Amino acid sequence: MKSCSVPRPVGPGAKVAVVAPAGPCATEVVDRVEPFLRAQGWQPHLYPGCRQHTGYLAGDDARRAEDLQAAFADPAIDAVLCLRGGYGCARLLDRLDHTRIARHAKPFVGYSDITALHIAFTQRCGFATWHGAMPGSELVRDPDPLTLAAWCGALTEPWPAGRMLPSGTASLHAVAGGRAQGRLVGGNLSVIASLLGTPWALDARGAIVFLEDVAEAPYRIDRCLTQLRLAGVLAAAAGFVLGSFTEAEDPLPVIAPFVRSLGKPVLAGWPAGHCKPQWPLPLGVQVLLDADAGTLQLA
């Protein structure tokens, strides 16, 4: 599959959309989003679904899809931020006009359940996206200075070929050594496994696959990885980057045998996912993974 270019920088005064394609957010948190974005020097525009609650969803499917579609279609919008994750993005995949979204590509940021949209936009629409922090999840609730600085840097700086992707002071280690090059793809392991067997499944052929998750017991991690193994996803990848697996027993003893047996480079401990600090990753772009050196570099 063709690789995408890094999302273009967002400049001062940019109009930035906030959409809620997954779960709802508390009103007091939503109220802090616009002041937060203004403090970054941008013009915020919150779409209606950000203030809606439909059970475990932020608005019904029609509302959430309409907001997302409108944010991309509006030429005045320079970037699209997801309010938070939760659940619900997969419900939108067959409701979106991906051809139209592709014509209006712009920086798109989120993680966790947003993985479903990252896969769709990079594979169907052909533009790169940012796996990164979200206003309603951490940026306004309990801001971490390193996360905020990395998030702003990802959105506002140019990312030329050869640049190293920053990982802060994370303790990285090679589960399996070696180097590999390919598209950086992936995200939340549970979401990726849930899309297998659908037209929206992750294409891992020749790719560097990033995986993270939260609050999943080791046997559930095993179940997801077994799904990926049986579907041929693990064998198709060129290498792996393991992010945070938090709020549960350490799953690395479960993960390591799956990935180590493939004979491909595997780098663990990358600070992305449900963790602090969190460092953004550009998905859909070519990267060079050096597991021994503990680096990811734009190719």
Q: Which of 215, 249, 225 is nearest to 85 (CA)?
A: 215
Q: Measured between alpha carbons, how far apart are the two ends of the chain, in Å?
A: 16
Q: What is the per-residue burial (b if ≥16 Cβ within 10 Å, else e) of 3-21? A: bbebbbbbeeebbbbbbbb
Contacting residues for 45 by C-beta, under 8 A, at least 6 apart: 15, 16, 17, 18, 71, 77
Find the Cα–Cα–Cα–Cα dihedral 113, 115, 117, 120, rounded to 10°.
Answer: -150
At 88, which amino acid appears? G
Residues carrying an active site annotation? 112, 212, 274
Whether the CB-CB separation of 6 and 285 falls below 8 Å is answered with yes
Q: What are phi and psi for residue 26, nearest 5 degrees?
A: -60, 145
Contact yes or no for 284/203 (Cβ under 8 A): no
Supply the angle between the helices 218-230 and 252-260 in degrees, to the nearest 10: 20
